[in-house]
Structure 1
């Protein structure tokens, strides 16, 4: 019964309605009975007053006539009313005139109950006056039986209570049945349908339910549950996808993942962890972290994890030993709480590739890729440390070595041979390097020996330094066998001493470099110590550097133009040549400042100035009609400038700002430009040609020419170097070289232009050899823009 009551909402509702109806009926009936009992004395008084009013006149006449028998008869007639226990008539003197008492009957209710319900004595008194005369003849007093009255009241109210109770119970039953069909039964149907819904269904109800409850609370409850079920299903699907996604990520993560519970026991591992540790997940799951192979590291790590606060991260590094291989790993550890439980996740990353990459980066950053020697950066760092920690009274030495005429070998035999020669030289010098000495490659064919501690005197008579340099020079001059070539090479060396009091490392390097220049002036294959009188040479270079910086900033450079002509003497274009007039040094030759500009990184800024001035000036001449649409302006690009990544952007910017058509520009590069990185050079040349710009090889014949790559170059013209043209008439070798270049150009369908044409004999001879475009003093010297404009106008007038 209790189980049915707990499971049936209808029974609960019916029982509650029944109990409530009975309780309310009892309370209301009791309250009404109580009100009736409380009002009963007043009703009785009124009722018996009305009764006595009937006997008032006969009793008054009996008192007036002193007829006791008649009065007794009237009084006894009152006893026919069972509610009257006693009736007494008093005369005017308050003496009993007549009285009557009802026989005693045992009531069904005790006197205590009667006294409780009706506390006051029930007595009805009425004056007896003679009709028409307001004279009181006596009174009649009636005592009522309270217990009888209580019986009557309780009997009447009991019947009323039973009627009301039956009515209320019937009403409660009707209401329960009504609410069963209106609420309980539809709710039961809804509950039944909800209990049978699955993840792919909505709540399905009988048609009657939807018809009756579509718009009420039950209908909205059904719609709400359907929507909640849909959302729950979507959320569960998303949660399942997320769970599967997380499992897949953990399983296939490149980094090892270990999840520990609150007791630091392994509960989750992935495949990467198995590979790192060398154990399957079955053996790893369930063991303590301290039980892993690795000794004290995991024990100390476990102790650290106990003290690690929640939501904090720590990092550790160690080395794992797997199959006799040592793997450096980085462990990122995080502690967190999930659903009241503390967990720790360890992300283990294999650092092998990173360590190798760092070593490669370190080698690239601080070591020369060809010779494996320390590079300039590392050498300067060692020099700075030597200066910083130099003890008082001690000194060191910086020796710069430069191979003599290495460029000639490099250009003649190619960079591959040149690189192998450098390696041979380094291998021959390594055994000669004293301990605690830095042997570094500064760049190109320049090397440095850094002695942090030198014995002897701090001058050019230092025996250990002299002995070492003599051995180095002797080793360099030994015959070198490189790629089938027997090569002889010498070296020049410059020495600078330092004791830590110098202002910077740059001063020491500059002094050694100055001494090196002095050694070359002495005839090469020798060495020189820096002397104070050499400072003027160093100061002159420093002055040149400062002037170059100022000249670039103020754009003190000016572009001159040297005409290029055809066999008829007609102008076909011009070459842009840079000129610099310094306010202190006067006219400075490009041969004197271009090399320095390349050393200090200003060559790119100077190149942009040339592009800007030349394109702007030619564009102006084109608008004025001075420059013809079939002429081209040739602009030289140095190897460093060509190799710079911004060259294409610089050219495009100059053309855009000047509005000069790209077809009027010709970019000149040297053969050596192509030798450093031919693939990169070819790519850049193709981009230049795609803009519509022509390409020429300048000073052709002075570098390392190869028909193998020359035939594939996207070039339009070869320029024969003036060194071959100058002695063309007298020197048979130069004649043969020029003739070969012209023939090669014709065979490759390339145009050819001869530089250095200074005489009519040069012009005639070149024309006979098949060269029909020229540049040189015979046709015109380099001239400023104003003079070149006048030159063009005069040439047009002459034609």
Structure 2
């Protein structure tokens, strides 16, 4: 190296190191490095380039003399074997000298672009960090084939090292800036949290001395704390307890919890403290540990918990003990009964027809009735037992006294039950109105080594239903036979639920014909196709479905099948305009007000006109809440549905009301059809019903027609239509369609 080159190299190094130290922009610094080596290497053809490694790609750093198009083309190249000089050098972490790009196998995939820009030689050296990690590549290009001299290699080594220092310094500065920015963001977040949280944080040192505080608490009045204060002067409760908790936190390095009460500004407040270790809290004392004492006012939460506790054990309406408290008390009594071989009793009360009051007069009146019931029971029982409301209109009396003799326990229960019945003799006067309320009482014994609280309640509930069964406003003791009957009912209810899920319920269709034998309608009749028991009669499961609230789902199944049938017949053009399907409606569907939505939603979904359906109701519906039922019927009539009174003549005498209801048809019950040939009296009743129907503008259908003689007589009496085994049995939909085709072809 000539003295002039040596001097130039020294000056270049000095300038570059100053730029690195001053934090000059990395691109300017790398640009200067390239220019300096190009000047010292003393060749107009030398063109230097610095690429930085990001992941496994090389990105453009500086290349003052290289064509911009070439720099752009190789920017982002992925390192690997045979990826030019730079990609290979970085991948292998070794210097790669290519004196002739045109013939080098390393440039096989890249020589076209290099030669297109007049580049024929490339010497590339990997740039390393101080911890020997590859940062990029330093390259010198020539516009003619050329190999480096020893001086060239020495210069490249010097400037490669300078490039590494520059890149490493720039990345370090970038990391510091990112960390500083992240720290600033964290501080800003912490500051924002501290400003809005209601908690107060206090810092203590290892000697439990106050250091400083964060946050604010008006209740604690800690805004003017200073590090001269002792723990005894801080609003933290018992100082000895505070010191103990701080010591335990330092020893275990685990979060500690502490609750205490203070009188703040004349009011009782409950606070919760949580502690945690803080390391390196003070910069000048990094080895010392500190404790963060976080305080939160939990007064409202504690009061709410107390209120919840009351709600857990007491009925919110009557303030009587609820089922949970009753069960706990009953279990204690059962335990005492078992230990001392004593007998006790439990009385289960249910108000008769309370649901009618709730539905017709509203829950406000219903609640007033329940409050009055609670008051009357309190006057009877006083301190002799526990009165609990366990749900709805159900109350339980649990006498406190246990007897050594079962007969004595029974006698005491009878006296208590009679007193309860007596207290219901007088009407309930609410809002200047009087209501007659009666009650049914079931009584069970607390006895036996295996008795549980659930057993006692279940038996009393069963006995209560027995009292209802015999007319209500009476009491009854538990009868095992009745329990068996109830168990069977519950099992049937469970089987119905399973059958609904498994789609075991289907509709059968029985034709209704006019006097000329033409089909005018069909009644959809539900059938339970049990996989083991076969077809189960509706008379067996319909009452249970009604009582358990499952009737809506059963009817939806029937209506769905009816819609499918009508849709099929319409598509095959087998229906005349007046044909309709009769659907049976349960009285309980009127009570729950679910009828309109359930029916309309299914019919609308199929796009079928409601005129295709007539809804069959029983006479009992006509007399039960007349105004409300008429309103529901009129709503359905307005939609297009028709109404038929099923089993007419067997229910209540509704002749006085029938003209006020929006009905279209009467169905004469089978019991009258069976007697139609039993003298003049039998046919007279049927004739009267037919005449009544015609005079009121109703159609009239005879059901249960089983003989030709019955059909002939009904035809002579001008019946609108007939239904029964004489015409056809109920059939599945597919069989009904086939039957219909045969009728049309015959």
* 1:240-319 aligned within 5 A: 240-253=184-197, 255-267=199-211, 269-271=213-215, 273-275=216-218, 277-283=219-225, 287-296=229-238, 298-308=239-249, 309=251, 311-319=253-261
In 2, Cα distance between equivalents of 1:208 and 1:515: 102
Q: Pick from 329, 349, 369: which aligns with 1:382?
A: 329
* 1:140-539 aligned within 5 A: 182-183=9-10, 185-186=11-12, 188-190=14-16, 192-193=18-19, 197=23, 211-212=35-36, 216=159, 217-253=161-197, 255-267=199-211, 269-271=213-215, 273-275=216-218, 277-283=219-225, 287-296=229-238, 298-308=239-249, 309=251, 311-338=253-280, 339-352=286-299, 354-355=301-302, 358=305, 362=309, 366-390=313-337, 391-435=339-383, 437-455=385-403, 457-459=405-407, 462=410, 464-499=412-447, 501-530=449-478, 534-539=479-484
SS of the residue aligned with 1:182?
Answer: helix
Q: Deviations over 1:383-410 (max 9, x none)?
A: 2332123341432210011223334434
In the alignment, structure 1 residue 577 sits paired with structure 2 residue 577: no
In 2, Cα distance between equivalents of 1:323 and 1:410: 49
Q: Deviations over 1:10-35 (max 9, x none)?
A: xxxxxxxxxxxxxxxxxxxxxxxxxx
Partner residue in 2 for 1:655: none
In 2, Cα distance between equivalents of 1:689 and 1:268: 74
Change over 3 Å in CA distance of 1:366–1:479 after alignment to 2: same
Change over 3 Å in CA distance of 1:485–1:187 after alignment to 2: farther
Count residues with an aligned counterpart.
Answer: 565
Change over 3 Å in CA distance of 1:570–1:253 after alignment to 2: farther
In 1, Cα distance between equivalents of 2:408 and 2:471: 18
SS of the residue aligned with 1:424?
Answer: helix
In 2, Cα distance between equivalents of 1:196 and 1:762: 114
CA RMSD of aligned residues (A): 5.2
In 1, Cα distance between equivalents of 2:300 and 2:534: 57
Q: Deviations over 1:528-585 (max 9, x none)?
A: 334xxx3222222223434554676687975554669799985556445366999799
In 2, Cα distance between equivalents of 1:775 and 1:322: 85
Decide whether the 8 Å contact of 1:394 with 1:454 is kept in 2.
yes
Change over 3 Å in CA distance of 1:620–1:791 after alignment to 2: closer
SS of the residue aligned with 2:224?
Answer: helix
Change over 3 Å in CA distance of 1:224–1:376 after alignment to 2: same
Decide whether the 8 Å contact of 1:396 with 1:498 is kept in 2.
yes
SS of the residue aligned with 2:340?
Answer: coil
How far did residue 196 of structure 1 move? 5.1
In 1, Cα distance between equivalents of 2:646 and 2:27: 100
In 1, Cα distance between equivalents of 2:631 and 2:738: 41
Decide whether the 8 Å contact of 1:368 with 1:374 is kept in 2.
yes
Partner residue in 2 for 1:29: none
In 1, Cα distance between equivalents of 2:701 and 2:447: 58
Partner residue in 2 for 1:589: 540
How far did residue 440 of structure 1 move? 2.0
TM-score by length of 2: 0.61
TM-score by length of 1: 0.57
In 2, Cα distance between equivalents of 1:190 and 1:182: 10
| Structure 1, 228-237 or 494-503: larger mean CA deviation | 494-503
Gaps of 5+ in 1: 1-170, 639-667, 676-680, 743-751
How far did residue 264 of structure 1 move? 3.5
* 1:123-134 aligned within 5 A: none
In 2, Cα distance between equivalents of 1:332 and 1:637: 64
Change over 3 Å in CA distance of 1:709–1:595 after alignment to 2: closer
Decide whether the 8 Å contact of 2:350 with 2:394 is kept in 1.
yes
In 2, Cα distance between equivalents of 1:618 and 1:454: 62
Partner residue in 2 for 1:673: 592
Decide whether the 8 Å contact of 1:402 with 1:493 is kept in 2.
yes
How far did residue 304 of structure 1 move? 2.3
In 2, Cα distance between equivalents of 1:388 and 1:550: 36
Change over 3 Å in CA distance of 1:595–1:690 after alignment to 2: closer
SS of the residue aligned with 1:281?
Answer: coil
Q: Deviations over 1:648-700 (max 9, x none)?
A: xxxxxxxxxxxxxxxxxxxx97233249xxxxx99999977885589989776
Q: Which has the larger radius of gyration?
A: 1
Change over 3 Å in CA distance of 1:730–1:218 after alignment to 2: closer
Question: Which has the larger share of helix?
Answer: 1
How far did residue 307 of structure 1 move? 2.5
Decide whether the 8 Å contact of 1:626 with 1:793 is kept in 2.
no
* 1:636-715 aligned within 5 A: 670-674=589-593, 691=605, 702-703=624-625, 706=628
SS of the residue aligned with 1:589?
Answer: helix
Decide whether the 8 Å contact of 2:342 with 2:447 is kept in 1.
yes
